[in-house]
Amino acid sequence: MQLDTSPEHENPAPDQLDVAVVQFAPSTDPSANLDALRGYVRTARDRGARVVVAPEYSMFAVTRLDERVVAIAEPLTGPFVTGLGAIARDFGVFLVAGTVEEVAPDGNRIRNTLVVLGPDGSLVERYRKVHLYDAFGHLESDVVEPGDIETPATFTVAGVTFGMQTCFDLRFPEGIRRVAAAGAQVVLLPAQWIPGPAKIDQWTTLVRARAIENTVYLAAADQSAPRGAGASMIVGPTGVVLAELGDEPGVLTTRIDLAHLAEVRSVNPSLALRRFAITERAPE
């Protein structure tokens, strides 16, 4: 199924902002992935998007992580992030994508890191995945170092505040609640949601639930087939699916409307009514 409420032929109001989600199948060639992203970002920009979010592991994608991903890792000053910055600068957008960050040049682990590149090409923000995919027969922690628990990574574009989480983080409601409580009005969720029985049902249910319970827009950018389940979507703060894709590559666009968000939060002030705090749990 494909639904895309693209606002490309309308000018947004001052309290509105157009956002795009890119769904594609990254390969094991970072340069080819940059070339592919350039085309998708051009499409998003032509539709009016000012923020574009691409999948987890946009730099390098395999079904199972191993020594190959360690060998390809780069610092955030490396050629892949620099290339993302060039794309963001060339099209005048904020670009969010998943990278393979080097921990140490002679190390045997990486970080699963989201980066935000601004319209001037600079690194605006980064988020290192906290909840690693040690489930469904996978052990991401074999080669990935989890991110530290830090102040939620947010950035603001034209008065709209964005927060970030990554893939498996979706299964932990307190993580996204923490981002929303830090002021995020839109949560960006790059993912490589591995296909499997009931995985699409779980993905769509969780994406919508996280949007509803936190009264946020949620833009989820999955990899397309074969290594991702697809089903990228943008969901509004009431859980309504505003745009979605099947398992093929594509670009979704929709409009973030802060007036609508304020109305939803007025009718359903769940963030203001919450009674429980979120505390860090020490690793076992």
Query: Is pLDDT above 80 for 11?
Result: no
pLDDT at 12: 80
Find all residues with CB under 8 Å of 16, minimum gap 6, and list them: 255, 256, 257, 258, 259
pLDDT (tens digit per residue) in 69-119: 999 999 999 999 999 999 999 999 999 999 999 998 778 999 999 999 999
Q: What are phi and psi of 56, to 5 degrees?
A: -60, 150
In which element (H, E) is residue 208 found?
helix 199-214
CA gyration radius for the chain? 17
**Cβ atoms of residues 191 and 183 within 8 Å:** no
Tell me the β-bridge partners of 18.
Answer: 255
Q: Does the structural domain 3-7+14-269 have CATH classification 1.10.1760.20?
A: no
Query: Is pLDDT above 90 for 248?
Result: yes
Domain boundaries, the chain: 3-7+14-269
**Is 56 among the catalytic positions?**
yes
The b/e string for 28-51 (b: 16+ C-beta within 10 A; e otherwise) is eebeebbebbeebbbbbbebbbbb
**Is 129 among the catalytic positions?**
yes
Beta strands 241-244 and 233-235, pairing class: antiparallel
Comparison of pLDDT for 278 and 210, the residue scoring more? 210
**Cβ atoms of residues 188 and 163 within 8 Å:** yes
Beta strands 154-157 and 160-164, pairing class: antiparallel
Q: How far apart are CA 232 and CA 223, in angstroms?
A: 8
**Is 167 among the catalytic positions?**
yes
- Angle at the Cα of 202 (from 196 to 207), degrees rounded to 5? 130
Write down the catalytic residue from 56, 101, 102, 140: 56
Write down the catalytic residue from 74, 101, 102, 129: 129
Question: For residue 8, what pLDDT band results from cuts at 50, 70 and 90?
Answer: low
| Residue in this structure with the two tokens 């290339």, named with its chain if needed | 83
Q: Smallest Cα–Cα separation from 22: which of 7, 12, 34?
A: 34
Q: How far apart are CA 67 and CA 46, in angstroms?
A: 39
Q: What are phi and psi of 210, to 5 degrees?
A: -65, -35
pLDDT (tens digit per residue) in 30-72: 999 999 999 999 999 999 999 999 999 999 999 999 999 999 9
> What are 30's two structure tokens?
């970072």
pLDDT at 111: 98
pLDDT at 14: 77
Query: Is pLDDT above 70 for 1?
Result: no
Write down the catalytic residue from 102, 140, 167, 244: 167
